[in-house]
Structure 1
Amino acid sequence: MQASKRAYRGRVVQMDAAFSVLKDAVIWIEGNRIKAVLDAAATPPQGFEHMTPINTGGTFYPGLIELHNHLGYDILKLWDVPKLYCNRGQWQGSPPYQAGVSGPMGVLGKTPGVAPAIARYTEAKCLMGGTTTSQGITLFSAPGLMRQYRGIVRNVEESLDSTLPDAKARIPDYAAKDKDNFLGYLKDFPCLLMHLSEGIDASARKHFLDLEISPNVWAIAASLTGIHCNALTRKDFDRLAAVRAGMVWSPLSNFMLYGQTADIKSARAAGVRIGLGSDWSPSGSKNLLHELKVVRVVNSVQALGFSDRDIVAMATIVAAGLLRWDRYLGSIEAGKYADLVLVRGKAGDAYEHLLKADETRIDLVVIDGLPRYAIKKLTAGFSGTGEVISFAGETRYLNLDDANADEIVAGLSLKVATKTLSNAMKNLPTLAKKQAKLPPSPLMTMAMDGARRRVFGQGPTPRADWTLVLDQDEPPDENLRPRFDSEAPLPGTIRMSAMPTATKAPAVLKPLELDELTVTGDPGYYPALAGQRNIPQAIKDGLQP
């Protein structure tokens, strides 16, 4: 914990129980906690009497909490989805997906030196969109260890904080194959983020129906937070709501792949708690800030009945509640961790102000009491000079200094990470040919001989060469959803990360361009979105700037 004190003045959208909006207030911070949130005219708290708050001229919100994002893939541009799919299995094993997404990532993720660049780049992408919490990146090393990347943005799967319980995002084989074991697994953890009924056909819904153990007895608990839930009906949502289970909504990705999203009107009517996730850049938003705009457009087009405040809550206090983190995060209140995002300006409705903002309006991001991303006048508190970022006519400073920085990004600037990724993606065909000549990956070898060792929360091995574990493809012994013994055998394409790269990758890969860090800095983003064949036209029209 840092010993420093800070004070920021502006409009404050607290997202507390009363949904207080303070027109002119000061957030007093000591170390990594909020000491007080007081009217600007009030007497400062004890110990801050001689401190002058920084007048930001903006509106503060709790840091945005994202519940679903395959961050490792967020270096890819939007995938030109070739057809309408009905379930996850249809696109995951298709040649176009392998050529445009899984093939390139299979090569890049296993190229020495690229995984650190991916971690640095995608974390910066989160910060520039106001995201302070997201899902993690899993790393693998030659000695046979797997672990979570430890970065600046909070990781729901490994918080490194005893007050913030880790969420689970994968299910071990023993629990995935037996319903009673799965229910027991659910009850052992505060939150399980699980892909649930992704798709629009009967087979997608069957993944939910298979959770029934016996008549009216279900392998569902309050810890379950289903990701996507496209195929669920009102009756299904009632079952989730009855035990206080929740869901993660990723509407843009749903529309791009399936032409429709979850029945959110039924979910809302049932009382299901809803958090948000941008999913990943190949078929989703670049960041959670943009996904909030998608949610607002869908809410209008489909007359879902959410207020702007409801939508902001999905990415703040509701998300924190689903993680069981709401005692410490999700709102701006005394005693909570200081995770903040500042949007330029204070005019108009406070909730609409965030939902209409783009990345050029994000002036400050604070995580655990430390400013990590800021305009020049708000860089006080940076431990160094900060790395300069320029986009869309704007300049920002990135504070990457961290005494506890993960070894893989120690000393790695965003500039160098960007160059590394750009070069690797341009040289994909060459890298693919080199990897095709290599022996099977260590993951494959360990899966075959049963010698796989899995270690989380343990320090990195000296001189380990860390590469990327692709979480859209399932490693050995783990599952993104239950697969009970009664289910039909899975197609062999599912556990692709356990296969050697040469088997997994298409014969020919083309050079790719690195995805831009922001929507506003990417002139090709909205034309690419408009060209997506599955997104309803009314949604496309509503998203155009």
Structure 2
Amino acid sequence: MQASKRAYRGRVVQMDAAFSVLKDAVIWIEGNRIKAVLDAAATPPQGFEHMTPINTGGTFYPGLIELHNHLGYDILKLWDVPKLYCNRGQWQGSPPYQAGVSGPMGVLGKTPGVAPAIARYTEAKCLMGGTTTSQGITLFSAPGLMRQYRGIVRNVEESLDSTLPDAKARIPDYAAKDKDNFLGYLKDFPCLLMHLSEGIDASARKHFLDLEISPNVWAIAASLTGIHCNALTRKDFDRLAAVRAGMVWSPLSNFMLYGQTADIKSARAAGVRIGLGSDWSPSGSKNLLHELKVVRVVNSVQALGFSDRDIVAMATIVAAGLLRWDRYLGSIEAGKYADLVLVRGKAGDAYEHLLKADETRIDLVVIDGLPRYAIKKLTAGFSGTGEVISFAGETRYLNLDDANADEIVAGLSLKVATKRLSNAMKNLPTLAKKQAKLPPSPLMTMAMDGARRRVFGQGPTPRADWTLVLDQDEPPDENLRPRFDSEAPLPGTIRMSAMPTATKAPAVLKPLELDELTVTGDPGYYPALAGQRNIPQAIKDGLQP
């Protein structure tokens, strides 16, 4: 069977080694790879002689690569952060957080039929913001199985592609005497994404200092990419840079919770590679496109010295490099996978064009050579007709068809997922009461029963609904940072304590509204942002549209 071929014409921001910007070029695609990127007047590559490129009138960028997001929570609106915190432990178990974030998600994530709707909705949220790669959603079933959701948007933790090595996002704990083993574990993987020193106090920094094995010997390797790194000093960043380790910056979430972000000026001076993540919608951006705007404002207010090109690189070629995916993604070049985002218009500075764009300007998103989100004139190549949605006064199309679609979302439309989520969130108090009546830890009981059936040959376990593993609300600090003060399981071992159990809902849960898919489609977003207590006024002023 002949591989499908496509050709798109427009301005092309390649993000290659030379940072080439082609004012009028054609991206020639065969199958899931870019065959060539040539000037519009050039002769088409062999096999494309009779194909007329689609003239998009826009500017192409590599698909945006997000290195940190708790996607399961992205159905929630911005949390009204009640006070200034100094480390993640202070807010994670607080009553306001339980009432506004963990309590609702504990109910929704374990309500039958809701997990598929969350997966579908958050994936559409990524697409409409131009994100083609993000972190995954972990699912759990009563028979004791735990796996990653397999979706259209690439998952850094399970790429399903032998050329794109999986990143590890949860690190087993090691005893103090075994820090050298931890270092060996780091060296076994191309990329390990790890919450590192999230917070602004001494206890937050201690999470980094605990990585010291002996004087001047650290459990740090090039594979380590620290998430947040708020409490790190210039000396700490020098240590990371010395071994080519990197970091993920999520400034909006940092400001909302802690009133300040990482010392990026020191990180930049040290030469640390920096990728980006929107973190999650309760205390961060709705998508990576908006987080890019936050980065640009912070860069201006704090005089960090980044160019617009530098900022775009953080979400494209630099992010791909941190994952060790830069041979295949992160730039628009012949031989690489065709992951693309098209922004309407071709005028002005090419990098500023992306950073100033909102979701209404995203005209096309291509992942692995297939158009997944598009305005009407760019729907060529869709499987069937695609799902029709109305956004910003225009008809747009989502291509959710996938021969390898995850079983939990196969055939589930965005429309149905949205309705299911809206109804569940409106009925949170009722759902919470129903769950409160369940026997203690039903999922754990069924997981152990399933394991017993497999071990003793008692036949297959009954098929059960998949539910969410709430990665932000595991047992305190479970798998989010290295702890070297207690014995730990062998690498790859899943602790029973890390498995989700029935969560006792807070005393009072109120009905909630589903978070809108886009910033521009949410009239309450900027007022809610302006009302946040901990974001510096200069940052809030800069973010107002």
Specify the alignment match of 1:83 in structure 2: 83
Specify the alignment match of 1:44 in structure 2: 44
Change (3 A) 1:468 1:489: closer
- Counterpart CA distance in 2 for 1:446 and 1:282 is 31
- Counterpart CA distance in 2 for 1:76 and 1:457 is 43
Change (3 A) 1:435 1:101: same
Change (3 A) 1:176 1:142: farther
Contact 1:496 1:504 in 2 (8 A): no
CA deviations on 1:263-294 (whole Å, 9 max, x unpaired) are 00000000000000000000000000000000
- Counterpart CA distance in 1 for 2:70 and 2:281 is 8
- Counterpart CA distance in 1 for 2:477 and 2:80 is 32
- Counterpart CA distance in 2 for 1:88 and 1:457 is 44
Residue 174 of structure 2: SS of its match in structure 1? helix
Change (3 A) 1:327 1:494: closer
Q: State the shift of 1:301 in Å.
A: 0.1
Say whether residues 1:528 and 2:513 are aligned partners: no
Residue 459 of structure 1: SS of its match in structure 2? coil
Contact 2:142 2:466 in 1 (8 A): yes
Q: State the shift of 1:396 in Å.
A: 1.3
Change (3 A) 1:476 1:290: closer
Specify the alignment match of 1:260 in structure 2: 260
Q: Which deviates more from structure 2 when the two are superposed, residues 459-468 or residues 165-174?
A: 459-468
Change (3 A) 1:488 1:88: farther
Change (3 A) 1:492 1:329: closer
Say whether residues 1:194 and 2:209 are aligned partners: no
Contact 1:111 1:467 in 2 (8 A): yes
- Counterpart CA distance in 2 for 1:168 and 1:105 is 24
Change (3 A) 1:86 1:92: same
Q: State the shift of 1:384 in Å.
A: 1.1
Q: State the shift of 1:494 in Å.
A: 16
Specify the alignment match of 1:431 in structure 2: 431
Change (3 A) 1:440 1:453: farther
Change (3 A) 1:112 1:36: same
Change (3 A) 1:129 1:500: closer
Q: State the shift of 1:440 in Å.
A: 2.6
Contact 1:176 1:479 in 2 (8 A): no
Residue 332 of structure 1: SS of its match in structure 2? coil
- Counterpart CA distance in 1 for 2:66 and 2:267 is 19
Q: State the shift of 1:488 in Å.
A: 15
Residue 412 of structure 1: SS of its match in structure 2? coil
Residue 61 of structure 1: SS of its match in structure 2? strand
CA deviations on 1:390-447 (whole Å, 9 max, x unpaired) are 2232331000000000000000000000000000000000000000111233554489
Say whether residues 1:303 and 2:281 are aligned partners: no
Q: State the shift of 1:120 in Å.
A: 0.1
Change (3 A) 1:259 1:475: closer
Q: State the shift of 1:174 in Å.
A: 4.8
Change (3 A) 1:220 1:424: same
Aligned counterparts, 1:349-388, within 5 A: 349-388=349-388
Q: State the shift of 1:493 in Å.
A: 22
Q: State the shift of 1:366 in Å.
A: 0.1
Contact 1:200 1:231 in 2 (8 A): yes
Change (3 A) 1:407 1:352: same
Listed as ranges, the gaps of 5+ residues in structure 2 are: none
Contact 2:172 2:482 in 1 (8 A): no
Residue 235 of structure 1: SS of its match in structure 2? helix
Q: State the shift of 1:341 in Å.
A: 0.1
Change (3 A) 1:485 1:232: same
Contact 2:388 2:396 in 1 (8 A): yes
Q: State the shift of 1:180 in Å.
A: 2.0
Q: Kindly tell me the number of residue pairs found equivalent between the two proteins.
A: 545
Contact 2:109 2:470 in 1 (8 A): yes
Contact 1:293 1:355 in 2 (8 A): yes
Residue 46 of structure 2: SS of its match in structure 1? coil
Contact 2:173 2:489 in 1 (8 A): no
Contact 2:441 2:502 in 1 (8 A): no
Q: State the shift of 1:501 in Å.
A: 6.3
Change (3 A) 1:87 1:54: same
CA deviations on 1:82-117 (whole Å, 9 max, x unpaired) are 000000000000000000000000000000000000
Q: State the shift of 1:474 in Å.
A: 2.5
Change (3 A) 1:360 1:176: farther
Q: State the shift of 1:457 in Å.
A: 23
Change (3 A) 1:300 1:514: same
- Counterpart CA distance in 1 for 2:458 and 2:212 is 37
Contact 1:12 1:59 in 2 (8 A): yes
Contact 1:436 1:501 in 2 (8 A): no
CA deviations on 1:42-97 (whole Å, 9 max, x unpaired) are 00000000000000000000000000000000000000000000000000000000
CA deviations on 1:189-231 (whole Å, 9 max, x unpaired) are 0000000000000000000000000000000000000000000
Change (3 A) 1:197 1:477: closer
Listed as ranges, the gaps of 5+ residues in structure 1 are: none
- Counterpart CA distance in 2 for 1:533 and 1:456 is 56
CA deviations on 1:129-152 (whole Å, 9 max, x unpaired) are 000000000000111100000000
- Counterpart CA distance in 1 for 2:20 and 2:249 is 26
Q: Which deviates more from structure 2 when the two are superposed, residues 459-468 or residues 369-378?
A: 459-468
Contact 2:85 2:91 in 1 (8 A): yes
Alpha carbon RMSD of aligned pairs, Å? 3.7
Q: State the shift of 1:179 in Å.
A: 1.5
Q: State the shift of 1:507 in Å.
A: 1.4
Contact 2:453 2:459 in 1 (8 A): no
TM-score after normalising by structure 1? 0.94
Change (3 A) 1:235 1:435: same
- Counterpart CA distance in 2 for 1:68 and 1:455 is 37
Give the share of equivalent positions with the same residue, in percent. Answer: 100
Contact 1:204 1:231 in 2 (8 A): yes
- Counterpart CA distance in 2 for 1:363 and 1:460 is 47
Contact 1:11 1:23 in 2 (8 A): yes
Q: State the shift of 1:449 in Å.
A: 10
Say whether residues 1:35 and 2:35 are aligned partners: yes
Change (3 A) 1:442 1:272: farther
- Counterpart CA distance in 1 for 2:158 and 2:531 is 37
Change (3 A) 1:181 1:456: farther
Change (3 A) 1:475 1:92: closer
CA deviations on 1:273-332 (whole Å, 9 max, x unpaired) are 000000000000000000000000000000000000000000000000000000000000
Q: State the shift of 1:184 in Å.
A: 1.4
Contact 2:174 2:483 in 1 (8 A): no
Contact 2:174 2:488 in 1 (8 A): no
